[in-house]
Amino acid sequence: MNPDRLFDAFPAPEYRGNQKDALRKVREAFADGNRVVLVRAPTGSGKSLLARAVAGCARTVEEAAPSEATDAYYTTPQVSQLADVAADPLLDDLNVIRGKRNYTCILSGEEDTPVDRAPCARERGYDCSVKHRCPYYSDRAIASNRRIAAMTLAYFMQTAGSEVFRKRDVCVIDEAHGLAEWAEMYATIELSPRTVPIWDDLRVPDVESVERAVEYADRLRNVCQRRVDDLLASDELSPGEAARRDRLQELRSELGWFVDDYRDSGSATTWLADQADDGSLTIKPMDPERYLRHTVWDRGNRFALLSATILNKAAFCRGVGLDPADVALVDVGHTFPLENRPLYDVTQGKLTYEHRDETLPKVARTLVRLMAEHPDSPGLVHAHSYAIQSRLADRLRDFGVGARVRTHDREDRDAQLAAWKASGEPEVFLSVRMEEALDLEGDLARWQVLCKAPFPNTNDSRVAYRLEDGQWGWYYRNALRTVIQAAGRIVRSPEDYGATYLVDTSLLDLFDRARHDLPPWFADQVDAMTDPDLPEFDPEAALSGIAAGVDPDAASPSEGAGTTAPTPTTRAGGDQSVSAGTTGDTSDGRASTSDGGGGDDGSASSPVADVWDVE
């Protein structure tokens, strides 16, 4: 890597905000010999352009000895981020490759067949006459032979050990704040009727300990191998049989990794095993250092990890298996005016499960007042869970403002989001798990509401294990990270503006407890937080921005545009009194589920719902 190329590799014709200063700091950090540079840059700072500049510093083939790694990887956990990269003309030399299932076959009669179920995946020795034109293999060939290959983190991890995507000189991970959680999620093994094709043929034992889980996993991987061998003996498979073969092979690999890692006395990974009443078993890693070493750290010589919310260098390094002595942290200042990104305190109480019946009606009334404050502007409500979303929607309909409210479920979230953004109406979108990877620049949204402090789900055995171990700093940082990400959804440039309202008092407690982990620019927002002077509760005023005469229970509102801004009542110093005697708001165990939900069903939460693009 040659960090002196950093400025020449920057793809934009001119610098914006603090980009030039950020490049200077990154160059110095790499020149000082750091293997990994963490770049903490706020929303709108142009992280993708910084990432491209770092990737452009990778050693070229002409500069390298035959045995030396060359070129660069760009990877991100967020599918939408990769789509943005692919569409950005300034980043047109990032060659994108996605998982097989994202491509369809081009053979006649197979146009609707994903490549991973095409004849080449079903028939032994199949000689595809159009493989040179296959969209997947064409993209793979291009990405593997160009200077910068771009892919999702899931695909990047899956290709560890691949002869096609070998070790490169530089690896850039964008939106890297949740790397430890993503690795834990990706290395988790779920054994259930949904994930094990031969479940009905198994005798699942009672698993009282991790040791018992290891014994069962060892036996099961041998069963998977025998079933795979039987399928491979066939000359031709149906699409269903091909899917069964692939899943069994994947499962065999997952189980083997778990067994070998657990029996490795030198591994730093702690494993947990949870069994449901129906026998389903979930095997979870804690701090999967060995897994990350194989899938990430062995894949490059130098790394740049970018995010707005790498909150604590030492804690981040500990979670991903890095030595802090080999890591530098570069802070990039915020260039958006503070007055354009205000936080407002409209707290009504706690929204934990035990307080919800009391607090939620107050939150719904506050939403009506906010709708009256912003009658002509779309708003986003981060409802945190489908249970909260459903109850808020019911209350708002009861109040007669249903004409302005849009919701989604697990199946139609993307379609509803797209419809909301395209509507041009002042709809209020009650969302679940949209705190990240959402760009609402300009009039797409001028206000948003954070309904609940997003603490990790204490019903998750990993969360419980950490709290029993006293890792409360991790608990608060995890929630704070989500809050900061959410706060950045509606203000995307120095000229953009939008208001963020907090309705859960636990958010104020969070800011107090995690004060030392607040990035300086977000601490400024917290300190400047005010109590706005909102209109009185008036459902008719809340609907004043849409056409008269609509049915209050209608599914969508009539037209409206524009925005208003609240009149604040300033608090001295922006401080908020918080009781120091409490231990903090613990999750009610009803946070988001792994499919992007957040139902009150006690399901295990996923920190990266809806971001995996799995091959």
We report the CATH number of the domain holding residue 44 as: 3.40.50.300
Q: Which residue has the higher pLDDT, 17 or 610?
A: 17
Question: In sequence order, what are the residues at sequence separation of 6 or more whose Cβ sits closer than 8 angstroms to the Cβ of residue 125?
Answer: none
Q: What is the mean pLDDT of residues 222-243?
A: 90
Q: What is the mean pLDDT of the chain?
A: 87
Once rounded to an integer, what is the mean pLDDT over residues 92-118?
A: 90
Residue 551 confidence class, pLDDT cut points 50, 70, 90: low
Q: Assess whether 315 and 435 both reside in one domain.
A: no
Are 327 and 343 found together in one domain? no
Domains of the chain: total: 3
Kindly state the average pLDDT of the residues 487-497: 92
Report DSSP letters for 288-302, one per residue. Answer: -HHHHHHHTGGGEEE
Q: pLDDT tens for residues 410-423?
A: 999 889 999 999 99
Domain identity same for 313 and 446: no
What's the rounded mean pLDDT across residues 457-472? 92
How many C-beta atoms lie closer than 10 Å to residue 396's C-beta? Answer: 26
Q: Is residue 476 part of a domain?
A: yes
Q: Which residues contact 396 (CB under 8 A, 6 or more apart)?
A: 364, 367, 368, 402, 405, 428
How confident is the model over 155-210, as pLDDT tens digits? 999 999 888 999 999 999 999 999 999 999 999 999 999 999 989 888 888 999 99
Same domain, 69 and 11: yes
Confidence grade of residue 275 (pLDDT, cut at 50, 70, 90): very high
Q: Where are the alpha helices (DSSP H) in 488-590?
A: 505-513, 520-527, 539-542
Asked if the structure places residue 561 within a domain, the reply is yes
pLDDT for 124 equals 83
**Residue 385 CA from chain centroid, whole number:** 16
Give this prediction's pTM.
0.83
Is residue 612 domain-resident? Answer: no
- Give 219's contacts (C-beta < 8 A, 6+ positions apart): none
Q: Are residues 209 and 310 in the same domain?
A: no
Domain that holds residue 245: 193-279
SS3 305: strand
Residue type (1 letter), 25: K
Distances (CA, A) of 397 to 294, 372, 404, 554: 52, 15, 9, 9
Asked if 151 and 243 sit in the same domain, the reply is no
Q: Tell me, yes or no, whether 346 and 322 share the same domain.
A: no
Q: Is residue 127 part of a domain?
A: no
Check whether residue 312 and residue 219 sit in a common domain: no
SS3 422: helix
**In a domain? residue 614:** no
Q: Shortest CA distance to 480 belongs to which of 453, 447, 501? A: 453
pLDDT tens-place string over residues 129-163: 888 899 999 999 999 999 999 999 999 999 998 88
Distance between CA atoms of residues 421 and 286, nearest Å: 38
pLDDT tens column, 574-590: 333 333 333 333 333 33
Indicate whether 608 belongs to any domain: no
The model's confidence at residue 397, banded by pLDDT at 50, 70 and 90, is very high
pLDDT in tens, 311-328: 999 999 999 999 999 999
- pLDDT tens-digit map of 443-464: 999 999 999 999 999 989 999 9
Please determine, for residue 559, whether its predicted confidence score (pLDDT) is greater than 50: no
Count Cα neighbours of 91 within 13 Å in the Cβ-side half-sphere. Answer: 25
pLDDT computed for residue 44 by the predictor: 80
Do 88 and 202 lie in one domain? The reply is no
Model pLDDT for residues 327-365, shown as the tens digit of each residue = 999 999 999 999 999 999 999 999 998 999 999 999 999
Asked if residue 297 and residue 275 are part of one domain, the reply reads no
Q: Residue 563: what pLDDT?
A: 39
Is it the case that residue 62 has pLDDT exceeding 70?
A: yes
Res 547: pLDDT: 61
In the chain, the percentage of residues whose pLDDT exceeds 90 is: 69
Pick the range with the lowest mean pLDDT from 100-109, 246-255, 382-391, 559-568: 559-568
Query: Do 298 and 444 fall within a single domain?
Result: no
Domain ends where: 210, 245, 279?
279
Residue of 501, 484, 487, 475 lying closest to 585 (CA atoms): 475
Residue 453 β-bridge partners: none
> Which residues 6+ apart lie within 8 Å of 163 measured at CB?
none
Please tell me whether residues 375 and 265 are part of one structural domain. no
The answer to whether residue 379 is domain-embedded is yes
* Angle, helix 47-55 to helix 19-31, in steps of 10 degrees: 40
Residue 188 lies in a domain: no
Q: Does residue 372 register a pLDDT over 90? A: yes
Q: What is the DSSP letter of 306?
A: E
